[in-house]
A and B are shown apart, each in its own frame.
Chain A
């Protein structure tokens, strides 16, 4: 019990530390709240330019949803956590290398996963806050209405998806130890997942080989399932299948991510490149 309390204190300490550093750079902190809109609005405006309105009959025939703003917004909102996984968690370790504090942190009397959990906690809270404000603004300005009855299951699915994505975040964090140009990998992974996940279009639009790959991504199930609960999107898979697949992926991705992290950690310490910038 004492040990658990000890680890929880360490996780929270890491979380608080990240917040303190972020809040030292207030302009950049504030900018992050505008960034989602910068990348969301092109989807809205482009869709509007194609249709001359915000409703698409073809989209309705594929998904049951005609409102392109609602369709894209839900998908895009959820994908914010992909950026957290690919960027925020990976950048945390890189930042420690910049500050010269990585070795100090790594010799602390806690297992590595505690540090990673601290990063994940901070990322979740930070991204959650950004998403909440984004959701408030978009829903009010664009008058998007959701099925409130679907909110509970949406949150469960969201939690499962976030947890699975943290496996990816842990993997990227591990890669930063050995690969100094990690950001290229992070950006490539983030871009490919964004293309394959049905954010602004249903999965049926993708070429067949991409549809198959999409079924291995937690974001696919997350986006489809949450859109189903909140907007009534037609599902090509059963809802139980979605929950089952994402639960299996949670175990696999977290396990794989931790494994890579520990391998890269051992590699970094053996080669003596742990804190090498």
Chain B
């Protein structure tokens, strides 16, 4: 527990050294969604589309897109922040010091994961506030308990992917390409920007991505769209039960492998 807290404290201090990045991650996910809002208006000539409603469950495309943009903050955090969690220690020159500490590396990773998820949640809350004030987004928050429930399941699933990404960057070193690949798959094949039912390929691949079920549930709760609560939560729990151990296993395997090969601290 002390190790996890120490890691959180350290990550927080490093974050404060780069305040511009805080502002960047608060505003960027929303700015990236703005072209879709304008595109919708250009194509429809209004603020709602019946065709869209038939697939997405709501004809109002602006709230749909904005919620996807906000939740994608977690995707970026899990892929990039976790993916580079260990690589950053290599940049700082502290990786070997940390990994030679008398603790299991998984606790250090957990500390980073908890910090990144708290940070992402803070960004999400601020983004939600911006959307309510500037875009007039109307959401129902009295369902806060199920919202938090699905967020926890989402975070757990995404960080399972993040653990694997953290491990793979220890192996691959210049892992931008690999992390981009993770990002592309999550971005294209989950309903961040559009309902995945629009295309058979996106629909097929989306079934294994935790973001799919979390977004269906969160949009359902926030925008009062009908959805199957138990189906989505059970599938998410099932995915988490597979992804988290798998991610941790990949990290542990890579950690052992790179120590044996002597490439752990290689830049």
Whether both chains belong to one complex is answered with yes
- A: which residues have CB within 8 A of B? 25, 27-28, 31, 34-35, 38, 41-43, 45-52, 56, 58-59, 61-62, 68, 72, 181, 184, 187-188, 191-192, 194-195, 199-202, 205-206
Contact indicator A181/B193 (Cβ below 8 Å): no
Find chain B residues with CB under 8 A from A201 CB.
35, 38-39, 41-43
Contact A49 to B55, CB < 8 A, known contacts A28-B176, A191-B31: yes
A107 to B109, CA, bound (A): 44
Which 9 pairs between the two chains have the least Cβ-Cβ distance?
Answer: A201-B42, A58-B45, A52-B51, A28-B177, A200-B39, A42-B193, A46-B194, A56-B43, A201-B38
Scoring B38, B192, B202 by chain A CB atoms within 10 A of each residue's CB, the highest score goes to: B38
Q: In the complex, which residues of chain B have a beta carbon less than 8 angstroms from the beta carbon of A47?
A: 39, 43
Is B61 an interface position by the 8 A CB rule?
Answer: yes
How many chain B residues touch the partner (CB < 8 A)? Answer: 42
Inter-chain contact B20/A181, CB cutoff 8 Å = yes
State the CA gap A4–B54 with chains docked (Å): 64
Contact check, B43 vs A195: say whether CB atoms are below 8 A apart.
Answer: no
CB of A49 within 8 A of CB of B41, answer no
In the complex formed, the residue of A with least CB distance to B41 is A205
**Measured CA separation A103–B197 after assembly (Å):** 54
How far, in whole Å, are A195 and B32 apart by their CA atoms in the complex?
8
**Chain A residue contacts of B21, Cβ below 8 A:** 181, 184
Residue-wise, chain B 23-34 has the 8 Å CB interface mask toward A (1 for contact) of: 010001001101
> Which residues 178-237 of B have a CB within 8 angstroms of A?
178, 180-181, 184, 187-188, 192-195, 198-199, 202
Q: Is the Cβ of B177 less than 8 Å from the Cβ of A45?
A: no
Q: Which residues of B contact A181 (CB under 8 A)?
A: 18, 20-21
CB of A190, distance to nearest CB on chain B (Å):
10
Q: Closest approach, in angstroms, between the C-beta of B12 and any C-beta of chain A?
A: 18
A194 touches B51 (CB 8 A): no
* Chain B residue at minimum C-beta to C-beta distance from A31: B177
Known contacts A42-B188, A42-B194, A195-B35; decide if A58 and B51 are in contact (CB<8 Å): no
| B88: chain A residues within 8 A (beta carbon) | none
Q: Let me know if A59 and B42 touch, CB within 8 A.
A: yes
- The residue of chain A having its C-beta at the shortest distance from the C-beta of B178 within the complex is A27
Complexed CA–CA distance, A127 and B181 (Å): 20
Tell me the bound Cα distance from A96 to B38 in angstroms. Answer: 39
Chain A residues lying within 8 Å of B51, measured Cβ to Cβ, are 49-52
A199 to B36, CA, bound (A): 11
Pairwise interchain contact A51-B34, C-beta atoms closer than 8 A: no
Chain B residue numbers with a CB within 8 Å of A192 are 31
Return chain B residues, CB-CB under 8 Å to A42: 36, 187-188, 192-194
> Beyond A200-B39, A200-B42, A201-B39, is A46–B193 a contact (Cβ under 8 Å)?
yes
Chain A binding surface, main DSSP class: helix
User: A50 and B180: CB pair below 8 A?
Assistant: no
Q: Report which of A31, A45, A51, A68 forms a contact with B199, defined as CB distance below 8 A.
A: A45
- Is the Cβ of A62 less than 8 Å from the Cβ of B42? yes
Alpha-carbon distance A202/B39, docked complex (angstroms): 9
What residues on B are CB-neighbors of A59 within 8 Å?
42-43
Complex Cα distance, B184 from A89, in Å, reads: 24
| B54 contacts across to A, CB distance below 8 A | 52
Query: Do B34 and A195 touch (CB < 8 A)?
Result: yes
Render B111-122 as a binary contact track against A, CB cut-off 8 A, 1 for contact: 000000000000
A45/B198 in contact, CB under 8 A: yes
Partner of A195, one of B24, B31, B42, B195: B31
Instruction: Specify which chain A residues have a CB less than 8 angstroms from the CB of B55 in the assembled complex.
Output: 49
Shortest CB-to-CB span from B63 to chain A, Å, is 14
B80 in the interface (beta carbon within 8 A): no
Interface residues in B19-73 by Cβ distance below 8 A to A read: 20-21, 24, 28, 31-32, 34-36, 38-45, 49, 51-52, 54-56, 61, 65
In the assembled complex, the CB of B24 is this many whole angstroms from the nearest CB of chain A, namely 5
Given contact pairs A25-B177, A27-B177, A202-B42, A46 touches B49 in the complex (Cβ within 8 A)? no
Cβ of B174 < 8 Å from any Cβ of A? yes
- Report whether A49 and B174 are in contact in the complex, using a CB–CB cutoff of 8 Å: no
Known: A49-B55, A49-B56, A187-B28. 10 other contacts (CB 8 A): A28-B174, A41-B188, A45-B202, A46-B40, A49-B52, A49-B198, A51-B49, A58-B45, A188-B24, A200-B39
Chain B positions within 8 Å of A48 at CB level: 194, 198
Q: How far is the CA of A51 from the CA of B61 in the complex (A)?
A: 11
Instruction: Enumerate chain B residues within 8 angstroms of A56, measured Cβ to Cβ.
Output: 42-44
Which chain A residue has the least Cβ–Cβ distance from B192? A42
Residues of A within 8 A of B199 (CB): 45
Interchain CA distance A52-B55 in the complex, whole Å:
10
In the complex formed, the residue of B with least CB distance to A35 is: B180
